Amino acid sequence: MSLKSFIEVHPESHFPIQNLPYGVFKPQPSSSPRPGVAIGDYVLDLSEIASAGLFDGPILKNSSDCFLEPNLNKFLALGRPAWKEARSSLQKLLSATEPTLRDNANLRQKALVPLDKVELLLPIVIGDYTDFFSSMHHAKNCGTIFRGPENPIPANWFHLPIAYHGRASSIVISGTDIIRPRGQGHPAGKAPPYFGPSLKLDYELEMAAVVGTGNELGKPVDVNEAADHIFGLVLMNDWSARDIQAWEYVPLGPFLGKSFGTTISPWIVTLDALEPFSCDAPKQDPQPLPYLAEKISKNYDISLEVQIKPAGAKDSTVITRSNFNHLYWTLTQQLAHHTINGCNLRPGDLFGTGTISGPEPESYGCLLELTWNGQKPLSLNGPSRKFLEDGDEVTITGHCKGNGYNVGFGKCSGKIVPPHP
């Protein structure tokens, strides 16, 4: 018999008792931020559950003050045994057969807050942010666009998960407007470089892993133990100014074409919740070096979708349908590679997957690919787009399909607004 909650959860909800993703919220504008988990149309206030002494397992009975913090970092630092204990306690507390919360009207009123009444915040303090480049289809398409079809993917790509160090300070929560960036672009002929608002603003369909426990400086993480250092996943939009990026990226890689804004979804779905949806990762050829060779190499079957809603439009148009399982390099390989030189990761660090494109045109994860760098405008049921225009709202969603339930991520959305005068 499948697990059921005493809280009514719609079959299409992203947040059944099988999920219980973690976030941080304010129940009232004047309230202090506190951790919560999403269940159906409610947020369970973990500060109230902790204050009531209901985290009574061997680890959390002495560490439940982590749920009195304004972010999840202290909880993340406790490690996988604590995460598993919290999940077990919360699933029991919210189950249909458990009276502790179900039959306590006073505690229910304090601890269960309607989701549509709360303000959702960044769930973690992000000390560092790294963005990988792990989809072979995306790498091939971008290489073909910029370098031609003869040798689109550089030789090193098949030997290591390529990444760059991004800007943590401009990561924002879903629903935050994105201001169109200004910068330089390629000069026309012998003229000076273009300077002004980006003319090629793009989205990138990504997901991002949240680091749980870190590692000591100088001590790499074994690839077969890397999953114990990953708390969970969020949706991510790595907004990109393609004209700024193209002019600046040689020789040191992305800078101002990326650092103006990155959006993440508010709910962190744990690896434990995703485990029923794990699947084999693609076969890697050539074989990776020993430090990247996994005993079990797995991805997750997460259906992903991107919609654009132009300013003034009544409806959104679906422009991308992809899946997390298209990634060539796994999350655990990304983390192991990140630390192989001795780099230390810390709780709350974020690393993006890179754009998640599949083999078919409808699964391409950005406008650069969908419009082939603006050569083939994309129809939005009337208006067309080469790149994003002011007022366009981009929404990313993702979910796993279970037997009678979904494990989902909610939404990752942002609207493009003009630059300040």
User: Which residues, in sequence order, are CB contacts of 307 under 8 Å at separation 6+?
Assistant: 316, 317, 318, 319, 394, 395, 397
Q: Which of 332, 380, 327 is nearest to 355 (CA)?
A: 327
Number of other CB atoms surrounding residue 295 within 10 Å: 6
Spot the catalytic one: 137, 138, 326, 337: 138
Residue-wise burial string across 379-406, b where 16 or more C-beta atoms lie within 10 A, e elsewhere: ebeebebbbbeeebbbbbbbbbeeeebb
Q: What is the 3-state secondary structure (H, E, C) of the chain?
A: CCCCECCCCCCCCCCCCCCCCEEEEECCCCCCCEEEEEECCEEEEHHHHHHCCCCCCCCHHHCHHHHHCCCCHHHHHCCHHHHHHHHHHHHHHHECCCHHHHCCHHHHHHHEEEHHHCEEECCCCCCCEEEECCCHHHHHHHHHHHHCCCCCCCHHHHCCCCEEECCHHHEEECCCCEECCEEEECCCCCCCCEEEECCCEECCEEEEEEECCCCCCCCCCCHHHHHHHEEEEEEEECCEEHHHHHHHCCCCCCCCCCCCCEEECCCEEEHHHHHHHEEECCCCCCCCCHHHCCCCCEEECCEEEEEEECCCCCCCEEEEEEEHHHCCCCHHHHHHHHHCCCCCCCCCCEEECCCCCCCCHHHCCCHHHHCCCCCCCEECCCCEECCCCCCCEEEEEEEEECCCCEEEEEEEEEEEECCCC
Do the bridges between strand 278-280 and strand 298-300 make them parallel or antiparallel, or are there none, so unpaired?
antiparallel
Cα separation, 53 vs 283, in Å, equals 47
Q: Which of 194, 203, 185 is nearest to 387 (CA)?
A: 203
Please say if 186 is a catalytic residue. no
Cα separation, 347 vs 124, in Å, equals 9
Residues involved in catalysis: 138
